[in-house]
Amino acid sequence: MNQLDTIYLVETPEGIDLQAELAGPIVRSLAYAIDLTIRGFALGIISIVLAFAGNIGIGIILLISFILEWFYPVFFEIYNNGQTIGKKMMGLTVVNDDLTAINWGSSLIRNLLRFADFFPFAYLCGFISMILTNKFQRLGDLAAGSLVIYKQKTKINTALPKCQTHPSPFPLSFEDQIAIIAFTERHDQLSDERQQELADILGDVIQQKSRRIDYLRGIGSWLLGVK
């Protein structure tokens, strides 16, 4: 059964599966709004300063606004790991569609094609394209072969429950191991009743009449390498 998800998978030539979580239009427009605000403020301040310089000042303001509008994202994407300030705040990053870091060519294409996404008004084409493509790509992304993904956070190790560790007496598939580890790690997020309910599902498998939660936590800790 093909389950709906926002995961994007790439297999490297070495046979390693890389995965990334694709970022959709809502969070991306929030990031864009942040960038727009920053640009607006920067331009506002510069304009106030340069307004005293007469016609030359206006010329410089126009030049700066052009550069800000077109090259602000390029600059940040190249020199800040694919993250403009807004993207960084929303935890997003731009990558090539093979999940390598974005390069000059792709970044330029995806940002210069913003005018196509902007058409006819306020990125309407970009929104439609993001909804219709499978990888939430706007037109510029399609042309440049780039993606916007969530930057993976380093996993914070949660405190494991104290219990006696022991290996599993029965074979566990990879997914089962992950489930048992999750059961152990999320011990303080799930209610005790729910944990008991979950542990009771495996009653026949673990063949324990009582203290099933502790028994499963023991296996989970063992899988995580606790001695």
Q: Which residues bind another protein (CB under 8 A)?
A: 1, 3-7, 21-27, 29-30, 90-91, 120-124, 127, 131-132, 136, 150, 170, 172-173, 175-176, 178-179, 182-183, 186, 189-190, 194, 198, 201-202, 204-205
Q: Which is nearer to another protein, 113 or 199 (CB)?
A: 199
Structure tokens at 61: 């303001």
Q: Which is nearer to another protein, 60 or 85 (CB)?
A: 85
Residue 79, judged by CB atoms within 10 A of its CB (0-12, 13-18, 19+), counts as exposed
Q: Cβ–Cβ contacts within 10 Å for residue 31, how many? A: 21
The DSSP code for 185 is H
Q: How far is the CB of 33 from another protein (least distance, A)?
A: 9
Q: Which is nearer to another protein, 74 or 84 (CB)?
A: 84
The DSSP code for 171 is -
Amino acid at 94: V
Q: How far is the CB of 123 from another protein (least distance, A)?
A: 7
Half-sphere exposure of 118 (CA within 13 A, CB side): 9
Q: How far is the CB of 199 from another protein (least distance, A)?
A: 8
What is the enclosing helix (H) or strand (E) of 227? none
Half-sphere exposure of 79 (CA within 13 A, CB side): 7
Q: How far is the CB of 167 from another protein (least distance, A)?
A: 16
Q: How far apart are CA 131 and CA 208, in angstroms?
A: 50
Q: Which is nearer to another protein, 110 or 187 (CB)?
A: 187
Residue 7 CA to its chain's centroid (Å):
10
Q: Which is nearer to another protein, 74 or 218 (CB)?
A: 218
Q: How far is the CB of 86 from another protein (least distance, A)?
A: 13
Structure tokens at 186: 């999320």
Q: Which is nearer to another protein, 85 or 181 (CB)?
A: 181
| 35 SS3 class | helix
Q: How far is the CB of 122 from another protein (least distance, A)?
A: 5
Structure tokens at 104: 């000059």
